[in-house]
Structure formats: structure tokens, C-alpha cells
Amino acid sequence: MTNDGIIIINKQQNMTSHDVVAQVRRIFGIRRTGHTGTLDPMATGVLPVCVGRATRIMEYLDLDLKEYRCSMKLGRRMDTQDVWGQETARVPPERVNLIRREDVEEAFAVFHGVISQTPPMYSAVRVNGKKLYEYARAGETAEVKARKIYIDRLTIEAMDLGRGYESTVTFSVRCSKGTYIRAICEEAGERLGVYGAMSALTREASGIFRIEDAVELTELAAMDKEHRERLLMNIPDPLVHFGELEVREYDAKRLLNGLPVWTGHCTFRREPEYRDKDFPLPIRPEFRRAYKAFGPVEGKMTFLGVVFADEAYENVKADKIFYTRG
């Protein structure tokens, strides 16, 4: 068995993503661990943690969409954009009770496709080498530039209106990496004219990682070593947006030694998803020519690594090798 792979953690509240990684590191007894995308301390749900050599795939997951279920309370504005922060403004509860279902639907209608969003001050986005939440906690300001995000879909799941500050809207959203759901809540509240703040958030999926396949840390810690290792997802499995190819043994050795391989020697099993179509946001050009490479090593078909074809599609060359002897 091996300690290389991805474990899907069902994160609980009152834990940072860093806390989760530290516990996974202790449970598996391996230093090389890292998560694929931060969840706020009060958020729950899917947090994939890469273990061992799998930590090297994290940059390849930028095309994955994430799915969330969120609830927000109406009537108050918070400095953190969620109910766990400090209140900075409110409207009378009577004003909140005037909100109708059609008002909510109209307020959320703008959250579709490619839009601009400004990251919250309480976030890990870096400005001049310093995280925004460090500025916020010090009472300092920083110039935060809006950036493009992509919302594939947003569906209002439930509305519990007419209850003053307990008035709640629950929605699900499928969106690109870097989307702040707290910011959606605050903007929706502003559009309603009554403020709003996130009150619950669960990440239900991130790429192929889904909450029904996730395990809580307490469960993971109670398992024996073999059971834990069986839960590790294979390194190439999440790379669903890349193509797939096979090479012969001679060319496998060339790739492993950092040498190019002529595409005529490759058997292309699948093309990259975005080779001939656009992703809604700018992507790394090489991802349009990226493949998971497999080849025989000591008589066994093995995942070698990720290779990029050159622009002329004459050769492929390894970007990262994942195979190690032993």
C-alpha cells in the first residue's frame, strides 16, 4: 500500500483548513500534505487533502468547479460578510419583512456567467505579500482589485421571509475557483436594500470530490492503516479535464528521463476537454494540450505523470513526473 493520494475530508465547523491538514499529516504520519482550496473556519463539507506525491497535482485543479449550499440572514451587514463577524449596519426588522419572494429572485438573477467580484477583506488573498485578513485585523485598508469569476448556476432552494432578522434565504451554487460565497450574500443583501450575511455554508463538491465520499477526521483517526489507505484516491483520477495517452516502454523511459517523445509514438486515448473549446475564464495555455501519460514500467502499465504537447503537436514532454521506483 502507499501513502500517496487524495483523501476527501468532510470538514466540520470551528476548524481552519490548515487545522485539517495538520491532523491528516499526523494521522498518516507523512509530512507532505496540503489541501486543494481553503474553506472558511465556520464552513463545512468537502476539503480534499493531498498526501505525499499527490500534493504536486494541486495546480492542475484550477478548472474544477465547486458546488456549495448556503444560507444567509437578512437585515444586517457584518464586517466579515457572515454572521460570525461584527455588525456594521442594520435596517429595522419591519423593513426586512417587506421583502417578497420576487424581490429575492430578482436580486439573485445577476449571479450568472462571468461576473466581477471583489474578494472580502477577511480572506487569504494576498496584496503586497500580505493576506487581506491581516490588514483587516490590524484595522488597516488595502486596495483590493475585483476579479472575474464564473457562476455556472445558482438556484434558490428555500425562502423563510417575514421573520425580521431571522429571515433566511438558502441557495445552491456551482462556480469557479476563487468565488467567495460570502460576497454573493452581501451583494444580494445590498441589492435587496436590507443587507445580508452568510449564516451557513457547506461545500458539497469540488471537481470529482463529493461529500458522499468524504470522511470526518474523527472517523479517519479511528481507522486502521490499511482502511485509511484504501480511501486514498489515485493521483491521476481528479485530472478529468486533461487528455490521456499511452506510450511504449522505450518512450516511457524517455519521458521519465525528461526527454521529448514524438506524438506519432503515442496512443491518444482521450483529448483534453478544452483543447478545442473555451473555458469561461482565462486558463493556462498548456492545459489545452495536457495529458495524463501511462506506460509500461517493469511490465506493468503505470501512471508516469502529466505531459504537455508542444503547440505544433510534434512532441510531448513531461511537465511533472509522478512515478517513483519502489
Q: Are residues 12 and 116 in the same domain?
A: no
Q: Are residues 86 and 34 in the same domain?
A: no
Number of domains present in the structure of the chain: 3
**Tell me: the pLDDT tens digits for 16-49?**
999 999 999 999 999 999 999 889 999 999 999 9
Residue 326, pLDDT above cutoff 70: no
Q: Are residues 186 and 70 in the same domain?
A: yes
Residue 4, pLDDT above cutoff 80: yes
Residue 237 lies in a domain: no
Q: Are residues 76 and 194 in the same domain?
A: yes
Q: How far is CA 301 from the centre of its chain?
A: 30
Q: Can you give the residue range of the structural domain that contains 161?
A: 66-206
Q: Are residues 226 and 255 in the same domain?
A: no
Residues 6+ away with beta carbon under 8 Å from 128: 142
- Euclidean distance between the first and final Cα of the chain, in Å? 11
Residue 133, pLDDT above cutoff 80: no
Residue 188 lies in a domain: yes
Q: What percent of the chain has pLDDT over 90?
A: 88
Residue 262 lies in a domain: yes
Residue 15, pLDDT above cutoff 60: yes
Residue 115 lies in a domain: yes
Residue 326 lies in a domain: no
Q: Are residues 148 and 184 in the same domain?
A: yes
Q: Looking at residues 300-309, what average pLDDT do you find?
A: 97
Q: Are residues 202 and 287 in the same domain?
A: no
Residue 216, pLDDT above cutoff 60: yes
Distance CA 301, CA 321 (A): 15
Please state, rounded to an integer, the average pLDDT across all residues of the chain: 94
Q: Are residues 27 and 55 in the same domain?
A: yes
Residue 235 lies in a domain: no
Q: Looking at residues 139-143, what average pLDDT do you find?
A: 79
Q: Are residues 13 and 83 in the same domain?
A: no
Q: Are residues 142 and 200 in the same domain?
A: yes
Could you tell me the CATH number of the domain that includes residue 144?
A: 3.30.2350.10
Residue 3, pLDDT above cutoff 50: yes
Give 2's pLDDT tier (boundaries 50, 70, 90). low
pTM (two decimals): 0.93
**Tell me: the pLDDT tens digits for 275-295?**
999 999 999 999 999 999 999
Residue 238 lies in a domain: no
Q: Are residues 120 and 219 in the same domain?
A: no
Handedness of CA 271, 273, 277, 283 (dihedral sign): negative
Count of alpha carbons within 13 Å of 30, Cβ hemisphere only? 18
Q: Are residues 52 and 168 in the same domain?
A: no
Residue 125, pLDDT above cutoff 90: no
**Tell me: the pLDDT tens digits for 164-206?**
999 999 999 999 999 999 999 999 999 999 999 999 999 999 9
Residue 74 lies in a domain: yes
Residue 230, pLDDT above cutoff 50: yes
Could you tell me the CATH number of the domain that includes residue 313?
A: 2.30.130
Give 127's pLDDT tier (boundaries 50, 70, 90). confident
Domain end point (choices 230, 262, 277): 230
The per-residue pLDDT for 144 is 79
The per-residue pLDDT for 1 is 45
Select the more confidently predicted residue: 257 or 119: 257
Q: In one letter, which amino acid is 245?
A: L
Distance CA 79, CA 121 (A): 8
Active site residue 40: yes
Catalytic residue among 4, 40, 64, 251: 40
